[in-house]
Structure 1
Amino acid sequence: MPSAKPSSDKTTAYGEFEFIVVSNRLPVDRVSTTDSSTWRRSPGGLVTALAPVMSKADGAWVGWHGAPDESLDAFDHDNMRLVPVPLTEDEVEFYYEGFSNATLWPLYHDVIAPPEFHRHWYDSYRRVNERFAQATAAVAAEGATVWVQDYQMQLVPKMLRAARPDLKIGFFNHIPFPPLEIFAQLPWRRQVIEGLLGADLIGFQRPSDASNFLRCVRRFVGHTVRQQQVQVEVEEGGPTYTSRAEAFPISIDVDQIITLANREDIIERSKEIRRELGNPKHILLGVDRLDYTKGIGHRLKAYEELLADGHVKVEDAALIQVASPSRERVEQYRLLREEIEGAVGRINGTYDTIKNTAIRYLHHSYPVEEMVALYLAADVMLITALRDGMNLVAKEYVAARTGNSGALVLSEFAGAADTLRQAVLINPHDIDGLKAAIVTAVNMSPAEATRRMRIMRRQVLQNDVERWSKTFLTALQEGNDDNPQEAAHA
């Protein structure tokens, strides 16, 4: 784990921070009033996981603050130095909405939607990555540990290594990494691979993601690969260093979820939700960003057919579908919203009664307290992702079920399926199989549900998000002990 150096060790040639996180967004949101604006910590597991490290180390976080065409000075918040990196309106459009979310996102999710390849998008992505790398190099102390996060920042590790070879650099990819045959479509495939190989340790959600990456290294870059290690030459005939690719499945803040699940007001809210739905025998729940990777349309189709077949009756069951807004300026997402809302309207128009609604569709984002109340109210959780790096909602549902009740229907294409093997696993493309799984979950005996949930809860509780961050950072530190280039700068 990184630790702070005495201030006397620092020189003017370097920055002052021993541990730096680099991500597209800073871990805060601006809260504006008529008189002033303040910052509050963003919800999310990554901030929770790294907060203890930040408080113990000399920590800084480099990221965009969320407003285009605005430059801010670095500032302190919750024992962290926050270093805003400015983005123009064009860069938000080309680097973020364009290359990150209309090129890389669909490509890395098995081309569920067709990716777009535009040279000016990539040029913007490269320039923004360079700016993030420069901002990081400026604040990093000598020999500091830098942890770069996610697919928006894939060129940063190599850029950082070129500027600051003394640094220990880790990278974590929160989304899947595609098979070679899909990644091959990317015109800038070599640049991305070389960018990632600037890191000493590259973390992925699943072992298959790490294997996909290493296959791409062999094919497109040609470095020597032994097991999970890549020998990288800094320059022709120059020294080499080792970059490793391994799986580090991310998790959740278990203590927060359990604490909320035991709160009397949230328990009462969960009962109120059931009452508002007319106290049905079964409540089914889907919680997703409104994204084409989540399989929401497949879920609705299966549920509609179950209603048509009579295997599920609107008088006995209700499906709550939370679809939080996502990337609404991107055309594919606008079309998806129209498609999903049209399907919900058609199903409810066909099967609703005066007393009962087939699907309660909620296009909102909710605070974690309301989400936990929904987890407690739901007898069956439906995760039908077509491709997902992890899907932390599955783990949150399991953690919230403190009484070991409830059933989880989980796509085998979500990373969570690797460890939550007692879920009812499904292939979401198989509508008949999905229907059968929903019926199995709805009709599961209490004893069988308890047996499955107890095993899944043990797995989630033993592997929380703080353990994930500690495991990654420990592996990063230990790996660098054997790195000749790093040893030369020690």
Structure 2
Amino acid sequence: MTAAEFVVVANRLPVDRVVAPDGEESWRTSPGGLVAALEPVMKTVDGAWVGWAGQADLELEPFEANGIRLIPIALSEQEVEEYYEGFANDTIWPLYHDVIAPPQFHREWWEAYVAVNHRFAEAAASAVAQGGTVWVHDYQLQLVPEMVRTLRPDVTIGYFHHIPFPAHGLYAQLPWRDQVLRGLLGADVIGFQRAQDATYFLAAVRRRLQHPVKGSLVEVPGEEGSRRVLAKAFPISIDTAPYLELIQKPEVRARAAEIRKSLGDPKRILLGVDRLDYTKGIRHRIKAYGELLTEGRLSVEDVTFIQVASPSRERVDAYVHLRDEIELAVSRINGDFDTMVHTAIRYLHQGFPREEMVALYLAADVMLVTALRDGMNLVAKEYIATRADNRGVLVLSEFTGAADELRQAIRVNPHDIEGLKDAIMTAVEMEPAEQSRRMRSLRKRVLEHDVKVWSSSFLDALADVRAQRS
């Protein structure tokens, strides 16, 4: 495989392996924000994508799928357990999400994280052309930028952090805090979802490493003099085109009408769409909705709540407990309030193709995004993109990155159950003219600042670095 001018490094490849009953193997595009964000970019450049195929002990040669060159990284069962389920998802994820769940610190997990990051870095260094660009993504690979720089000082390196970065008081708990900062500072440009995240990162660099920081620039000392690293917010978005296309399809619109009918044609449908994760505030919105039913402020004849919770990290204990807790809460509310015709909560622990999601967005009058902490939350933007009639209401947690941009949403503190209940009632009772005023503004923001604008702004920043260096 020839060297690529542009190499993406992410924990997962942008495709999932599918084995048919007859044993035939194929690859389909993965769901998820990162793939949706980068696939359009990858098809316009001489690029390659380094990532894990999602299955332990799977050794694969580089191959091509959907017009993208793919370089698979093999992980053993133990590495999946220690690097991915352990350090990435039971240490970094909870720590960076404000310790909503307690992070676990294990030295063997850290050692696996270092070893796996090195394997990714070596693959990227081998794949990239002389003077090319490497773009590393997310918290699973925070050490890769520095490792690539050591192996290939000729290339330009970007890193984008898709999840929040914590305040220093929390970050300082990490035993390997300085090593992670140095790993990230191997990049020329470090992107965050929110200005607040960049500020927290720069504060950690100043306090822990004592590097000079001026505005968004860090002076990183080196043997051949210092170099400047840019660390700032580049809020990610969605590729709006598929959503605008799908909402025009008669079969998708018919499916939306069918969903409403199957729920007994309630006056209002509330919708939540999340990975099953303790950061998403699913318990909080279920509690708020249940109390509104108990108090008689809502009735199941008038208002139905659909909660899509796609499976996530099912081998991590915290997620197993969360699923049990949510399913118990749902069954209690349904037991108390369901009628023969109407269901209080339609709970769906499964993922759906984009067409079905768009039908759900079209059917929903109110979108509930009540994350306790979220880097961005692209579901909020997907919902807005489908609302071509300028109807519908977004209830949005102030602790999401999206809250910085989507200012016409009804903003909530999801920890305040009374405030969340009032916000739901405001959304349910909002007049069409007010819905239209708010949604028109939200759609303008999402359609004008789509994923192409996001990727272009980040890649332009990398190009500026390259130009300064040459």
Q: What TM-score does the superposition give when structure 2 sets the normalisation length?
A: 0.98
Mapped to 2, the partners of 1:415 and 1:293 lie a distance apart of 13
What is the CA–CA distance in structure 2 between the aligned matches of 1:436 and 1:54, rounded to whole Å? 44
Rounded Cα–Cα distance in structure 1 between residues aligned with 2:68 and 2:249 = 30
Structure 1 residue aligned with 2:299: 313
Helix, strand or coil at the partner of 2:87: helix
Equivalence for 1:267: 253
Q: How does 1:76-87 map to 2 (within 5 A)?
A: 76-87=64-75
Q: Find the partner of 1:323 among 309, 334, 337.
A: 309
Instruction: Give the CA deviation at 1:334.
Output: 0.2
2-structure distance, mates of 1:190, 1:72: 34
> In 2, Cα distance between the equivalents of 1:216 and 1:25?
28
Aligned-partner SS, 2:279: helix
- 1:451 and 2:437 correspond: yes
Distance apart, 1:54 and its partner CA: 2.5
CA distance in 2, matches of 1:228, 1:219: 15
What is the alpha-carbon distance in structure 2 between the residues aligned to residue 154 and residue 195 of structure 1?
Answer: 6
Structure 2 match to 1:40: 28
Q: 1:466 offset after TM fit, Å?
A: 1.5
Bigger shift: residues 240-249 or 50-59: 50-59
- Kept in 2: contact 1:15–1:138 (CA 8 A): no
Q: 1:48 to 1:332 in 2, by over 3 A?
A: closer
User: In structure 2, how many angstroms separate the alpha carbons of the residues matched to 1:298 and 1:134?
Assistant: 43
Deviation at 1:76, TM superposition (A): 1.6
Distance 1:261 1:120 in 2: 49
Q: Secondary structure at the match of 1:187?
A: coil
1:297-317 Cα deviation digits (max 9, x unpaired): 110111111011111011111
**Alpha-carbon deviations, 1:421-450, whole Å to 9, x = none?**
100100000011000000000000000000
**What amino acid sits opposite 1:81 in the alignment?**
R
| Cα RMSD after superposing both structures | 1.1
Q: Distance in 2 between matches of 1:435 and 1:44?
A: 30
**Counterpart residue number, 1:21:** 8
How has the CA–CA distance of structure 1 residues 270 and 230 changed in structure 2, closer, same or farther, with 3 Å as cutoff?
same
By how many angstroms is 1:57 displaced? Answer: 2.2
What residue in structure 2 maps to residue 5 of structure 1? Answer: none
Aligned 8 A contact 1:284 1:382 in 2: yes
1:476 maps onto 2:462 in alignment:
yes
Contact 2:277 2:312 in 1 (8 A): yes
Alpha-carbon distance in structure 2 between the residues aligned to 1:217 and 1:418: 24
Which residue does 1:98 correspond to in 2?
Answer: 86
What residue in structure 2 maps to residue 276 of structure 1?
262
Which residue of structure 2 lines up, in the alignment, with residue 11 of structure 1?
none
Aligned runs of 1:325-404 on 2, under 5 Å?
Answer: 325-404=311-390
How far apart, CA to CA, are the structure 2 residues paired with 1:331 and 1:381? 29
Secondary structure of the residue aligned to 2:391 is coil
Q: Residue 59 of structure 2 aligns to which amino acid in structure 1?
A: S
Question: How many Å separate the matches in 1 of 2:282 and 2:294?
Answer: 18
Aligned to 1:295: 281
CA distance in 1, matches of 2:384, 2:237: 12
C-alpha contact 1:15 1:137 (8 A) present in aligned 2: no
Cα distance in 1 for partners of 2:301, 2:66 equals 49
Identity of aligned residues (%): 61
C-alpha distance in 2, partners of 1:473/1:252? 16
Q: In the alignment, which residue of structure 2 is the partner of 1:195?
A: 183
CA deviations on 1:313-335 (whole Å, 9 max, x unpaired) are 11111000111110010000000
Question: Is the 1:45–1:253 Cα contact (8 Å) retained in structure 2?
Answer: no
Measured in 1, the distance between the counterparts of 2:91 and 2:271 equals 31
Tell me the alpha carbon deviations over residues 124-151 of structure 1, each in whole angstroms, 9 at most, x when there is no partner. 0000000000011111110111100000
Structure 1 residue 35: deviation in Å?
Answer: 3.8
8 Å Cα contact 2:37/2:237 also seen in 1: no
Q: Is the 1:26–1:84 contact (alpha carbons within 8 Å) kept by the matching residues of 2?
A: yes
CA distance in 2, matches of 1:15, 1:356: 59
CA contact (8 A) 1:382 1:408 kept: yes
Q: Distance in 2 between matches of 1:376 and 1:15?
A: 45
Is 1:112 aligned to residue 100 of structure 2? yes
d(CA) in 2 for partners of 1:336, 1:472: 36
> Of the candidates 109, 115, 125, which is equivalent to residue 121 of structure 1?
109
What is the Cα deviation at residue 15 of structure 1?
6.2
TM-score of the two chains, using structure 1 as the length reference: 0.94
What secondary structure, in the 3-state scheme, does the structure 2 residue paired with 1:425 have? strand
Tell me, in whole angstroms, the C-alpha distance in 2 between the residues paired with 1:277 and 1:51: 36
Give, in angstroms, the shift of residue 32 of structure 1. Answer: 1.2
Determine the C-alpha separation between the residues in 1 that align with 2:178 and 2:359: 46
Contact 1:253 1:466 in 2 (8 A): yes
Structure 1, 51-60 or 305-314: larger mean CA deviation? 51-60
Is 1:441 aligned to 2:427, yes or no? yes
1:318, 1:49 → 2: CA distance? Answer: 32
* 1:51-66 equivalence runs, <5 A: 51-66=39-54
Task: Describe how 1:5-16 pairs up with structure 2 within 5 A.
Answer: 16=3
The residue type equivalent to 1:339 in the other structure is: E
1:213 to 176, 201, 220: 201
Partner of 2:242: 256
Residue deviations 1:1-41 (CA, integer Å, cap 9, x gap) = xxxxxxxxxxxxx9611000000011111121214211122
| Number of residue equivalences | 469
Which blocks of at least 5 consecutive residues in structure 1 are unaligned?
Answer: 1-13
Secondary structure of 2:359's partner?
helix
**Residues 15 and 142 of structure 1 are in contact (CA less than 8 Å); yes or no, is this contact kept in structure 2?**
no
Q: 1:163 to 1:15 in 2, by over 3 A?
A: farther
Secondary structure, aligned partner of 2:101 = coil
Distance 1:53 1:358 in 2: 42
Q: Name the structure 1 match of 2:147.
A: 159
Gaps of 5+ in 2: none
Contact 1:200 1:480 in 2 (8 A): no
Amino acid at match of 2:122: Q
Q: 1:215 to 1:329 in 2, by over 3 A?
A: same
1:122-201 paired onto structure 2 within 5 Å = 122-201=110-189
Query: Letter of the aligned partner of 1:56 in structure 2?
Result: T
- Range with bigger deviation, 56-65 or 85-94: 56-65
Q: Contact 1:31 / 1:40 at 8 angstroms: preserved in 2?
A: yes
Measured after TM superposition, the shift of residue 49 of structure 1 is 3.3
AA aligned opposite 1:227: G
> Following the alignment from structure 1 to structure 2, what is the Cα–Cα distance between the partners of residues 340 and 202?
36
